[in-house]
Copies of this chain bind each other. A is one copy, B any other.
Amino acid sequence: MTWTKIVECVPNFSEGRDLDKVEKIVSAFRGKEGVKLLDYSSDQDHNRTVVTVVGEPEALKKAVVEAAKLAIELIDLNKHEGQHPRMGAVDVIPFIPIKNVDMDEAIEMSKAVGKILGEELKFPVFLYEKSASAPHRENLAKVRKGQFEGMAEKIKEPEWHPDFGPAERHPTAGTVAVGARMPLVAFNVNLNTSDLEIATQIGKNIRHINGGLRFVKAMGVELHERHITQVSMNLTDYTRTAIYRVFELIRIEARRYGVSIVGSEVIGLIPMAALIDTAEYYLGIENFSMDQVLESRIME
């Protein structure tokens, strides 16, 4: 591989039951130079498929547009039911900078894809997260509120005029949110207490919304079988709120209750840099460069 730049994309499609359709859509990510399909999983209850794909910017944009086009053709939201909120055949398309790509470039990618979907495919696009054109459009849940059904009217309101495409819901495919964000790290810390109240309180103390660390979302969770509890987190920017800082802060908070950390878990994928930064901290490594990591040199 000589991918100098790597971007990740995690498009969500509103089909999780008709696996023939899912395969057709996912095929847009197969066998393409500069694109690698890492994972896709369909949920019957949600009636939704989440795809994880990485690639070089140009190749990835093309493949994402191709997949979106297939989804628009194949999926009719008028007939869609499932537990997960949704507003479009392809429901959300986040671009995530991974290597030699900054947030500005990921934002550019989201806008370029949004422009094609809106202008060429007449599929209304809302830019969200870091790509949002206004603060009230940053949060996906707010953009999607009302879902496919409500979007028929919502999209006509001036504050919900789409960023690209007609101000009219696509009759079968609805609308889509396209944007750029940092990689999410799902990180959970286990506590040697069965008292959910303690895990919940620690979660509140360390999370952003209650005055804690800027890029932490957290809640307390019971692990019934193990008779312990967990601070379950999403770290929304590990480059600015480091994992070790979150971990050590939880340790410090737990002390107040005479509780200790018994372990942690990483759910799903995590960027190499997030863990290497952790090793650098604990070993106190001076002047370390990611170029010293053998695998990082191989990928250049």
Chain A residues close to B by CB (< 8 Å): 1-3, 6, 8, 36, 38, 54, 98-99, 183, 190, 243-244, 247, 261-266, 268-272, 275-276, 278-280, 282-288, 292-299
Contacts and interface: CB of A to CB of B under 8 A. Distances in A.
A85 to B, nearest CB: 27
A285 B292 CA distance: 24
A284 B272 contact: no
B268 A272 contact: no
Contact of A278 (B8, B261, B265, B279): B279
B293 A275 contact: yes
Contacts of A287: 265
Contact of A294 (B270, B282, B283, B288): B270
A247 B294 contact: no
A266 B275 CA distance: 16
Q: Most B CB atoms within 10 A — which of A244, A262, A264, A296?
A: A264
Contacts of A265: 285-288
Contacts of A261: 284
A299 B295 contact: yes
Given A261-B284, A282-B282, A269 B244 contact: no
B299 A284 contact: no
Nearest to A8: B294
A14 to B, nearest CB: 26
A1 B299 contact: yes
Given A284-B263, A294-B98, A272 B276 contact: yes
A272 B286 contact: no
Given A243-B283, A261-B284, A294-B8, A272 B269 contact: no
Given A36-B298, A265-B287, A294-B8, A272 B272 contact: yes
A293 B272 contact: yes
A276 B1 CA distance: 23
A115 to B, nearest CB: 27
A285 B263 contact: yes
Contact of A272 (B1, B36, B262, B294): B294
A78 B270 CA distance: 54
Given A1-B2, A279-B278, A296 B284 contact: no
A295 to B, nearest CB: 4
A278 B277 CA distance: 10
A98 B299 CA distance: 14
Nearest to A284: B263
Contacts of A297: 38, 54, 269
Contacts of A38: 294, 297-298
11 contacts: A1-B2, A36-B298, A54-B298, A264-B283, A269-B293, A270-B292, A271-B293, A272-B272, A272-B296, A275-B280, A276-B276
A219 to B, nearest CB: 19
